[in-house]
Amino acid sequence: MENVVIIGTGCAGLTAAIYTARANLNPLVLTGTMPGGLLTTTSIVENFPGFPEGVDGFELMTKLQKQAERFGARVKFATVEAADLSRRPFKLMVDGEPMETKTIIISTGAGHRHLGLESEHLLDKKGVTYCATCDGALPMFRNQPLVVVGGGDSACEEAMYLTRFGSTVYLIHRRDELRASKIMADRTLANPKIKPVWDSVVTEILDVKQDKVTGVRIKNVKTNAESTLDCAGVFVAIGHVPNTQLFNGVLDMDDAGYLKTTQGSATKVPGVFVAGDCSDRVYRQAVTAAGMGCAAAIDCERFLGSEDN
């Protein structure tokens, strides 16, 4: 019987592991298929506090894991396949083996929605990115034309943010008006550095041969006319998919699948807490995920320490 099982080893899960381990709860931390989480896929993280020169994402996550292990967290390479939260102790199926636990911290993260183009995949991190806040300030994008794909609030936010760095920001959207809230859409379209490209989809990101982004091929969905746009970066902002399918119908989620909390990090099931991008539709940053991991660990510790539990 485990005291606490932490599902996921991104910033949220490993921070929860540090706190619950230091509280002598002997946490078991399950990595899933991506040990270290999303941040391991990026080379340089420039906005995590405490690293004036920036830090390699993989290195940061390795250090977080070591920090948790130093206080007794057990990190296991394993994936949760099913969860029965109907009564305590909770039952998990982990790589085909049953497991019981008094509490759970869910920190399974969220993935980005992709355009689904082969060139997008091949040029990932070579000019194709999914996070303007994370990558917009990189030297490769400074004073260059940039492309944002999408038409919702996130796409508008990304485009506005990128106007600080790019020479021009093309906002490519498949419709003839933005899906974003009116205030955000108005503000975006009023920005002289943002040029909307309506009724258009990206059909290819150029140039795989040069191994870097030099432009995009676009198609007008009304006329089928094709054209190209020069740019140094493509920021894909067409949404996220939280990794919460395991809890469909069991825990409350919003329309996009983000887990909902009742108070602090608590869910409607007492003893089940959430942290990080799987429950954060708004910020989705390493440091906010870490902060939420801390909060979930403290909530979990208090829950286990309360008289009734």
Ligand X SMILES: Cc1cc2nc3c(=O)[nH]c(=O)nc-3n(C[C@H](O)[C@H](O)[C@H](O)COP(=O)(O)OP(=O)(O)OC[C@H]3O[C@@H](n4cnc5c(N)ncnc54)[C@H](O)[C@@H]3O)c2cc1C
Q: Is 134 among the catalytic positions?
A: yes
Pick between residue 97 and residue 308 the one whose CB is nearest to ligand X. Answer: 97
Question: Nearest distance from residue 2's CB to ligand X, in Å?
Answer: 14
Asked whether 176 and 199 are in contact (CB, 8 A), the reply is yes
Pick between residue 45 and residue 232 the one whose CB is nearest to ligand X. Answer: 45
Question: Nearest distance from residue 51's CB to ligand X, in Å?
Answer: 11
Pick between residue 39 and residue 184 the one whose CB is nearest to ligand X. Answer: 39
**Nearest by Cα to 122 from 52, 55, 184, 208:** 208
Question: Nearest distance from residue 131's CB to ligand X, in Å?
Answer: 5
> Is it true that the peptide bond before 89 is cis, omega within 30 degrees of 0?
yes
> Is 17 strand, coil or helix?
helix
**Which one of the listed residues 11, 135, 156, 299 is annotated catalytic?**
135
Question: Nearest distance from residue 198's CB to ligand X, in Å?
Answer: 28
Q: How far apart are the C-alpha atoms of 27 and 63, rounded to whole Å? A: 17
User: Within 13 A of 282's CA, how many CA atoms are on the CB side?
Assistant: 3
Q: Is 11 among the catalytic positions?
A: no
**Nearest by Cα to 9 from 65, 58, 55:** 65
**Which one of the listed residues 11, 56, 124, 134 is annotated catalytic?**
134
**Which one of the listed residues 11, 56, 95, 131 is annotated catalytic?**
131
Pick between residue 177 and residue 254 the one whose CB is nearest to ligand X. Answer: 254
> Is 70 strand, coil or helix?
helix
Q: Is 156 among the catalytic positions?
A: no
Q: What string of H, E and C letters represents the secondary structure of 217-256? A: EEEECCCCCEEEEECCEEEECCCEEECCHHHCCCCCECCC
Binding site for ligand X (CB under 6 A): 7-13, 30-35, 37-39, 41-42, 45, 47, 79-80, 107-109, 130-131, 134, 243, 246, 276-277, 284-287, 289
Catalytic residues: 131, 134-135
